[in-house]
Amino acid sequence: MSSTIAEKILAKKAGLNEVESGQIVTVEPDVVLSHDNSAAIIGHFKKLEVDRVAIPERMAIILDHVVPAAKESDAINHQIIRNFVREQRIPNFFDVGRGICHQVLPEEGLYGPGSLVLGADSHTTTHGAFGAFAAGIGRSEVAVLWATGKLWLKVPESFKFNLIGKLPKWITPKDLTLTIMGEIRADGAIYKCVEFCGEGLHNMSIAGRMVLSNLSAEMGAKAGICHPDDKTIQWLKSRTDRQFEPVLPDDDAEYEGELTFDLSEVKASIAMPHTVDNFELARNLCDIELNQVLIGTCTNGRIEDLHLAAQVLKGRKISSNLRLLVFPASREIYIEASRDGTLAALAESGATIMNPGCGPCLGAHQGVMAPGEITLSTANRNFKGRMGCNKAEIYLGSPSTAAASAITGHITDPAEFI
């Protein structure tokens, strides 16, 4: 039988020779991810009345959602988690300031192509960028994984995105993904594993692939896997000594469908309020005046995103009508951007440089909005109320569009600054 990547990885992790889509299997993931929600998961874990977690080295806990703690209740949550980590001797614990979980995990080399990553966060799909099968699950499910190391999964059908050509200057994988979502809509890939492949993908950096996999969650996908190649292997070599066996689909594997996108045709794109598939070109939205611009999050807080923003902003000033907030996705990225002058260039333009973490993306702190305000964000969700105020509006765009718009004060196609 011929198999897709999802079928191959899930068969291996279930200890079976082969599986087919629709089948339910019991798998043993390589990494089980959780973040500040670990405090709630500890509550579920205690209901199971076991003393110790099954495989502490397969767990990864990263504090990133509300860091540093904004309120006493956040601080208590962090404290509960730190105590549990100590008590259970969990080696892969990353405290306040290390970065966003979806950036820290690959930086620490905790998995690779062919791995299975499950996490109590919907954007766990990000890890598909390295050829892993990675999916978000519920909190009680993570508690069960802590206790047993095993969980059931349904083998998904697969859908293929064939990417051809090369993105134009200033146009990013974010623009591409917003374009794809505008076309297939927010429920276009429900329960499916989407695979990204083709020369367009292989031309793309690892950071760009992480954007594709990250936003797969917003299409309803269970996982979003980029076909691994030499770039994947080279990137991981600098992070870990572990050997991985890249998994690729069989030539005659069955797909539910296939779409081809020509990268050279992608333009600066925006998702308008309040859904990720509410697509429009940036150049058609220049009458949208902004109060805040956010560059960062698990979608677009990587070094090349900051470089792109700095290229646009260097030697220019941001509009006096808005705030520009910059959140490097991890401490590593913060240090690199600090050493190469990127952070200085951004700060000189008027940006406020914040600590690594999720920032205001989920509306908890560090830049929540007031009624009537509009933010342009490089994040992945623009749902009503997402940034802490249900009378505010969020537009989603790329780091270059965000930087260009911060200068003019309204949504701006970065082409204007070439």
Partner 1 sequence: MKINGKIFKYGDDVNTDVIFPGKYTYLLMSNEEMAKHALEDLDPDFSEKCSEGDIIIAGKNFGCGSSREQAAIAIRAAGCKAIIAKSFARIFYRNCLNNGLFALTNSKIQEVAEIGNNIDIDLSAGKINTGGMEFDFHPPSKEVFGILEAGGLIPYTKMKLSGG
Residues forming contacts to partner 1 in the complex (CB under 8 A) are 20, 22-26, 44, 47-50, 137-138, 140-141, 143-144, 147-148, 150, 152, 154, 187, 190-191, 220, 222
Residue 24 tokens, joined = 């339910």
Q: How far apart are CA 208 and CA 324, in angstroms?
A: 22
Report, in Å, the least distance between residue 48 CB and partner 1.
Answer: 5
Report, in Å, the least distance between residue 24 CB and partner 1.
Answer: 5
The whole-angstrom distance between residue 360's C-alpha and the CA centroid of its chain comes to 15
Report, in Å, the least distance between residue 83 CB and partner 1.
Answer: 22
Cβ proximity to partner 1: between 217 and 404 the closer is 217
Report, in Å, the least distance between residue 336 CB and partner 1.
Answer: 36
Report, in Å, the least distance between residue 208 CB and partner 1.
Answer: 25
* Strand order through the sheet with 59-62: 93-94, 59-62, 31-34, 116-119, 133-136
Q: How far apart are CA 49 and CA 8, in angstroms?
A: 35
Would the CA dihedral through 113, 119, 122, 123 be positive or negative? negative
Assess contact for 401 and 268: CB atoms under 8 A: yes
By CB atoms closer than 10 A (0-12, 13-18, 19+), residue 280 is: middle
Virtual torsion, Cα 314, 320, 325, 328, nearest 10 deg: 10
Q: Which one-letter DSSP state was computed for residue 167?
A: P
3-state secondary structure of 154: strand
Report, in Å, the least distance between residue 221 CB and partner 1.
Answer: 8
Report, in Å, the least distance between residue 256 CB and partner 1.
Answer: 11
How many CA atoms are closer than 13 Å to the CA of 332, on its beta-carbon side? 13
Cβ proximity to partner 1: between 95 and 256 the closer is 256
User: Which residues make Cβ contacts (< 8 Å) with residue 162, sequence separation at least 6?
Assistant: 197, 198, 200, 258, 259, 260, 261
